[in-house]
Amino acid sequence: MDIFTRFNRKHLQDRQIDTLIGLSKGIAADGLVNQSEAEFLHDWLYQNSETKNPIILNLLDKVSGMLSDGVLDKEESAELLAILESISGEISEYGEVPKTSTLPICTPPPSIHFIGKAFLFTGTCAYGSRKECQEVIDSLGGVNAPRVTKSLDYLVLGTYVTDSWIHESFGRKIEKAVEYRDSGLPLAIVTEEHWANEARL
């Protein structure tokens, strides 16, 4: 690849990211992502995916998963809003694991045992869609729990859960898990990064 081709490709990617930031700000401006906005974003991402920009490809995969059943539900809408707010705030942070002391994760992170153990994912995961993460649990002999209960073994916080989690739609799940853990139940709250490392993904 000659220098001119490299320059033109880099310039195109920069313009795409600028446009994506603008789109993210516009969609997230009213604090809600509706079905038509998600579909519009999906179409734009698909049309711009040929440049192989990892940010665009990552987001396209996320939105495709959310719309795979033809419906953007309430939780998916909230997750997508959080991602778009992250993108419009500072694009360089997209895809990085938030390092914040305000996340109620277990420290040090515990060893994770999969066979017969109950797992629940909350927030948006970098590994893939909720269904893909649950398939990993199934393949390792674990159980996917539908909600936070006293029998839950692990609550896995998606990569894009930030220190504003208490204000998000999934905040109640985390609060409930913290309540059970602090009462003495053996419920562990872990990051997606730790879960993925233990699963050897």
84 and 8: one domain? yes
More confident: 96 or 155: 155
What token pair was written down for 166? Answer: 């208490």
Q: Which of 11-15, 18-22, 115-119, 157-161 has the lowest mean pLDDT?
A: 11-15
Residue 163 identity = D
8 and 74: one domain? yes
pLDDT band at 170 (very low <50, low <70, confident <90, very high): low
Domain housing 128: 118-199
More confident: 166 or 148: 148
Asked whether 60 and 74 are in contact (CB, 8 A), the reply is: no
Give the pLDDT confidence score for residue 181 in this predicted structure.
Answer: 94
Residue 130 identity = R
Q: Does the pLDDT at position 92 exceed 50?
A: no
Q: What is the CATH number of the domain that holds 168?
A: 3.40.50.10190
pLDDT band at 114 (very low <50, low <70, confident <90, very high): very high
Boundary (domain end) residue, out of 60, 93, 126: 93
Q: Residue 125, Cα to own-chain centre: how many angstroms?
A: 3
Flag whether 125 is in a domain. Answer: yes
pLDDT band at 98 (very low <50, low <70, confident <90, very high): very low
Flag whether 19 is in a domain. Answer: yes
User: Is the four-CA dihedral 124, 126, 132, 135 of positive or negative sign?
Assistant: negative
Flag whether 111 is in a domain. Answer: no
83 and 29: one domain? yes
Q: How many domains does the chain have?
A: 2
Rounded to two decimals, the pTM is: 0.53
7 and 73: one domain? yes
Average pLDDT of span 192-196: 90
Q: Which of 191, 199, 41 is nearest to 101 (CA)?
A: 191
Average predicted confidence (pLDDT) for the chain: 81
Q: C-alpha angle with apex 166: 161 to 168, nearest 5 degrees?
A: 65
C-alpha distance from residue 196 to each of 3, 111, 130, 189 (Å): 38, 12, 14, 14
Measured between alpha carbons, how far is 165 from 143 in angstroms, rounded to an integer?
Answer: 25
pLDDT in tens, 48-77: 888 767 778 888 988 999 999 999 999 999
Q: What percent of the chain has pLDDT over 70?
A: 80
Boundary (domain end) residue, out of 77, 93, 109: 93
11 and 86: one domain? yes
Listed in sequence order, the residues at least 6 apart from 103 whose beta carbon sits closer than 8 Å to its beta carbon are 157, 161, 162, 163, 165, 191
Beta strand spans in the chain (E): 118-122, 143-144, 154-157, 188-191
59 and 139: one domain? no
138 and 60: one domain? no
